[in-house]
Amino acid sequence: MRTLRSGHSSQLPKPPISAAIGVFDGVHLGHRAILRAAIHHARQYGGSAVAVTFHPHPQTVLAPEKSLRLIQTFEERLKCLEIIGVDAVYVVDFNQAFRENPPEAFLDELKSQLGPLDFISVGSEFRFGKNRSGNLNFLRETGQVDGFQVEGLELLQWNKKIISSTLIRSMIASGQLTLAGELLGRTYCIASKVEHGDHLGAQLGYPTANLDTENLITPPHGVYHGQVYLENGHSYHAAVNIGMRPTLKKNLPTLRVEAHLLDFEGDLYGQRLEIMFIEKIREEKSFPGLDSLKAQIATDIQEIRRRVAGK
């Protein structure tokens, strides 16, 4: 899969172009319907299916005060789009200048960067351009003039609620991870790169891999039994802690997602890890000191081993 960036396309995808347009955070079931419509059309006419997505997330530009946390990193979004089967991803640089462009300018950009459009699929409520003035009707009217087809897909529903990235984020934040996975169409995981921490885990005898989750939505605080997948394909059971580490009593605590991989030895810094949450072991709590924290970690690991053994 090729990744093309706004203003830097060196080689156009094979025409005719079938474009699926959306932010696609999480690449959930609703997104997949939009993407598959473009893929189907491309396969039918021998062209290329291109996912058109936006980075950074539009809300971070339109409403930065809301401090949006995403379901996945941008790199993970690209991986999911590749798995779905698009031939290329075109990444639109969403900035203040772009938000002021009329909807016509956006379509002109797509045509100049991708070539003539043959088909566009979007959600029925898709809006774009200055003041959100572009919509499904605008696309269809433009398509009649420019010669491309438009399919606006009705939004999928679950339990009388529209399946959306916002709904899935709320499920993750409230600990409904199985339901979140059902709407994503895959098991929910956190995936990101390992960054350096303060090495407290190693000092206590339980080294941890600290994930960079600064802009990601996370499950509720607590200790979890998890399955951690490495870049080399190996996986390990793990004790995963999500929280503010209240035992340390820092003035400005920061959220940490850290995993102690059972029976693993090695260096994971800079590697991409994927954490699948099996079940919650206990809530986050503060301990009188590091010795009692160390004892609790040992108890947590013992409990996970017991559950792995099925006893």
pLDDT at residue 66 in the model: 84
Q: Are strands 88-93 and 117-123 parallel, antiparallel or unpaired?
A: unpaired
Residue ranges of E strands in the chain: 2-5, 17-21, 48-55, 88-93, 117-123, 149-153, 157-158, 161-162, 189-195, 209-211, 222-229, 235-243, 256-261, 272-282
The CATH number of the domain where 16 resides is what? 3.40.50.620
My answer on whether 149 and 206 are in the same domain is no
Q: Which two tokens stand for residue 49?
A: 């299916």
Establish if 255 belongs to a structural domain. Answer: yes
Q: Domain boundary at 154, 178, 200, which?
A: 154
CB 107 within 8 Å of CB 142: yes
Question: Residue 169: inside a domain, yes or no?
Answer: no
Statement to judge: residues 109 and 201 lie in one domain: no
Distance CA(28)–CA(21), nearest Å, equals 14
The pLDDT tens digits along the chain (311 residues) read 899 987 766 678 899 999 999 999 999 999 999 999 999 999 999 999 999 999 999 999 998 888 899 999 999 999 999 999 999 999 999 999 999 999 999 999 999 999 999 999 999 999 999 999 999 999 999 999 999 999 999 999 999 999 999 999 999 999 999 999 999 999 999 999 999 888 888 888 999 999 999 999 999 999 999 999 999 999 999 999 999 988 887 767 789 999 999 999 999 999 999 999 999 999 999 999 999 999 999 999 999 999 999 85
Question: In this structure, is residue 229 part of a structural domain?
Answer: yes
Burial class (CB in 10 A: 0-12, 13-18, 19+), 176: middle
End-to-end, the C-alpha distance of the chain in Å comes to: 45
* Stated length of the chain: 311
Q: Are residues 150 and 7 in the same domain?
A: yes
Per-residue model confidence (pLDDT) at position 227: 98
292, part of any domain? yes
Residue where the block lists tokens 């996945």: 72
The predicted pLDDT at position 64 comes to 87
What pLDDT does residue 10 have? 63
Residues 145 and 220 in one domain: no
Measure the CA–CA gap between 257 and 269, rounded to whole angstroms.
Answer: 14
In terms of domains, do 25 and 138 share one? Answer: yes
- Whether residue 47 is contained in a domain is answered as yes
**Domain limits for position 253:** 188-309
Instruction: Assess if residue 251 is contained within a domain.
Output: yes
Of the residues 111, 139, 154, which one is the last residue of a structural domain?
154
Q: Are residues 41 and 139 in the same domain?
A: yes
Rounded distance between C-alpha atoms, residue 105 and residue 259, angstroms:
46
Same domain, 122 and 80: yes
pLDDT of residue 11: 76
User: What CATH number is associated with residue 245?
Assistant: 2.40.30.30
Same domain, 114 and 7: yes
Residues 107 and 240 placed together within one structural domain of the fold = no
Total tally of structural domains belonging to the chain? 2
